Amino acid sequence: MRITCVIGTLGGGGAERVMTYLSGGLVLCGHAVTLLTLDDSVPDFYDVPEGVTRARVNLPTFKKAGFLGGVVRLWKMTCALRQTRPDVVISFMTVSVLAACLLLRTPYIYADHLDVRYLTYSRKWQILRNFLLARAHAVTVLSERDRKFITRSHPKWKPQVIYNPALPIKQCFLPRPEFMPARYQYVVAVGRLAHQKGFDRLLKAWRRVCSGFSNWKLLIIGTGPEENNLKSLADTLDIQHCVQFVPPVKEVNAVYRHAQVYAMSSRAEGFPMVLLEAMAAGVPAVSFSCTGPDVIIRDGVDGFLVTPDNTDELAEKLAELMTNEPLRAQFAKNARQVIKRFSLKDYIDAYENLCLNARKSA
C-alpha cells in the first residue's frame, strides 16, 4: 500500500517527531511511504527514517495567500499530492491538504495533536474544517476527553483515540552535555517558548523553590516567541543565576540521562512527547493536571500531578522530589514502564489498521 504522510514541517516539535516514528514504522510494515511537508523554508530538525521517500512543496498559508492565491495553493498542493500516488493519506494537523484528497478521491485520516477543546477558528474556517473532517475515514485524537467532546459536537468526524508512543532510550553512552556541569542537579523542561507551554508559571514556582537548593538549576530547552519575555521574567524574579535557557537540542536523551526531575507547566497539551521521552529515560515528572499528562503520569507512582494554575503546589511537589532521593529513585523506576504502557508497536498497528480499512472502504 502507498501511504502519504503530510505535516507542515519537520522543524521540531512533538508532532513532527511522532511523524518520523509513524512513517518509519509503516515502512517496516512493508508499505511504500512518502513524507510530504508544505513549508520548504523551515529546515528539517529530525532525520527522515530510512526507506521513507521525502517530498516537499512550498506553500503560503491560506491567510497570506488570499482567495485567488488560495486557489493556486490548492492546485499546487493537489499536484504535489498526486505525484506521491497515495492509496491513503495521513495528515497531521494539516486540514487544507484534505481538500486536495477530495479532489483526488483519495481516502484520508486526519490526526489532531492538540487539545481540540481549546482550538479557535474563524467562522469560514470552521465551516470548511467541519466539511472536510466529516468526510475523513477517521479523525484521531490524543485523549478520551477529546473523543467524547468531538462525539457530542461533531459526530460525523468518527473520532478515535490513539496515544502517542514512548520509545525506549538507546542503551549507549550519552556524554553529559557541556551546558550541564556535574556540580549541579537539574530540573528540566522542554518545549516551544510560547504562552501555551506555561513557562512563566514554572519560573514563578521555581522562585519559591530555588533559594533552598543552591546546587540545583532549572534548565529550559526550547525557542519561541516568548523567549525574551521569559528571560526578562527570570531577571525580574531574581532567579537568573539558577535558571538556564538552552536552544533546542537534537540529542535530548543525553539531557534526560543527566537530569533528576522533569517539570511540565503547560496550560493545554495533547499527549506530550517530551514527557513520554523523559519518563522513558527514567526521569520522574511533576506536571499540571491537563489533558495528556493526566494520563501519562500516575500520580504518586511515577510523578506528581498538580492542580492546574496552582504554582504553590507545583513548587511544593518539585521541592518534595528534589529533597527525597529515594522517592526520586522509586518514581524513576516506575516511570520507565511508560514504554510498555504506550508502545510504538501499538501505535503503528493502530494507524496501519486505519489505513487498510480506509483503502477497503474507498
Q: How confident is the model at residue 115 (pLDDT cuts 50, 70, 90)?
A: low
**DSSP of 14-40, one letter per residue?**
HHHHHHHHHHHHHHHTT-EEEEEES-T
Query: Does residue 288 contact residue 311 with C-beta atoms inside 8 Å?
Result: no
Asked whether residue 69 carries a pLDDT value surpassing 70, the answer given is no
> What rounded mean pLDDT belongs to the chain?
92
Asked whether residue 56 carries a pLDDT value surpassing 70, the answer given is yes
Over range 286-313, report the average pLDDT: 96
How much is the pLDDT for 323?
97
The third-level CATH classification (topology) of the domain covering 185-341 is Rossmann fold (3.40.50)
How much is the pLDDT for 41?
81
The string over 262-285, giving b where at least 16 C-beta atoms fall within 10 Å of a residue's C-beta and e elsewhere, is bbbbbbbbbbbbbbbbbbbbbbbb
Over range 199-221, report the average pLDDT: 96
The string over 20-29, giving b where at least 16 C-beta atoms fall within 10 Å of a residue's C-beta and e elsewhere, is bbbbbbbbee
How much is the pLDDT for 61?
62
Q: How confident is the model at residue 73 (pLDDT cuts 50, 70, 90)?
A: confident
Asked whether residue 116 carries a pLDDT value surpassing 80, the answer given is no
Q: How confident is the model at residue 149 (pLDDT cuts 50, 70, 90)?
A: confident
N residues, the chain: 362
How much is the pLDDT for 121?
61
How much is the pLDDT for 291?
86
| Residue 72 to residues 14, 91, 261, Cα–Cα distance (Å) | 30, 20, 49
Report pTM.
Answer: 0.87
Whole-angstrom Cα distance, residue 41 to residue 245?
A: 25
Q: How confident is the model at residue 88 (pLDDT cuts 50, 70, 90)?
A: very high
Q: Could you give the maximum distance between any two Cα atoms of the chain, in Å?
A: 63
Q: In terms of DSSP H, where are the helices of the chain?
A: 14-28, 62-83, 97-104, 123-133, 144-153, 199-209, 227-236, 252-257, 273-280, 293-296, 311-323, 325-335, 338-341, 344-361
Task: Please name the residues in contact with 314: beta carbons below 8 A apart, sequence gap of 6 or more.
Answer: 201, 202, 205, 263, 265, 286, 288, 306
Whole-angstrom Cα distance, residue 129 to residue 98?
A: 9
What cell was used for 138?
477517521
Over range 324-351, report the average pLDDT: 97
Whole-angstrom Cα distance, residue 266 to residue 113?
A: 14
Asked whether residue 117 carries a pLDDT value surpassing 80, the answer given is no
Query: Does residue 89 contact residue 101 with C-beta atoms inside 8 Å?
Result: yes
Query: Does residue 132 contact residue 95 with C-beta atoms inside 8 Å?
Result: yes
Asked whether residue 357 carries a pLDDT value surpassing 60, the answer given is yes
How much is the pLDDT for 123?
73
Pick from 320, 189, 176, 323: which is nearest to 244 by CA?
189
3-state SS assignment for residue 338: helix
Low-confidence winner among 165-169, 215-219, 230-234, 298-302 (lowest mean pLDDT): 165-169
What cell was used for 334?
516506575
For the chain, residues classed under CATH 3.40.50.2000 are 2-164+343-361, 185-341
Q: Sheet of 261-264: strands edge to edge?
A: 243-246, 216-221, 185-190, 261-264, 285-288, 303-306
Residue with cell 504502557: 341
| Residue 270 to residues 111, 161, 162, 172, Cα–Cα distance (Å) | 11, 11, 11, 30
% of the chain exceeding 70 in pLDDT: 94
How much is the pLDDT for 63?
57
Asked whether residue 112 carries a pLDDT value surpassing 60, the answer given is yes
* Dihedral in degrees, nearest 10, Cα atoms 19, 257, 183, 211: 60
The predicted-structure confidence for 241-269, as pLDDT tens digits, reads as follows: 999 999 999 889 999 999 999 999 999 88
% of the chain exceeding 90 in pLDDT: 75
How much is the pLDDT for 212?
87
What cell was used for 247?
536552544
Over range 267-281, report the average pLDDT: 93
Please tell me the CATH code under which domain 2-164+343-361 is placed: 3.40.50.2000
Over range 294-308, report the average pLDDT: 97
3-state SS assignment for residue 108: strand
Q: How confident is the model at residue 153 (pLDDT cuts 50, 70, 90)?
A: confident
Residue 286: half-sphere exposure toward Cβ, Cα within 13 Å: 25
Whole-angstrom Cα distance, residue 67 to residue 73?
A: 10
Q: Which long-range contacts link 247-254 to residues 24+ away (Cβ below 8 Å)?
A: 247/221, 247/222, 247/223, 248/12, 248/45, 248/221, 248/222, 248/223, 249/177, 249/221, 250/45, 251/174, 252/190, 252/221, 252/277, 253/169, 253/170, 253/174, 253/277, 253/281, 254/174, 254/175, 254/176, 254/177
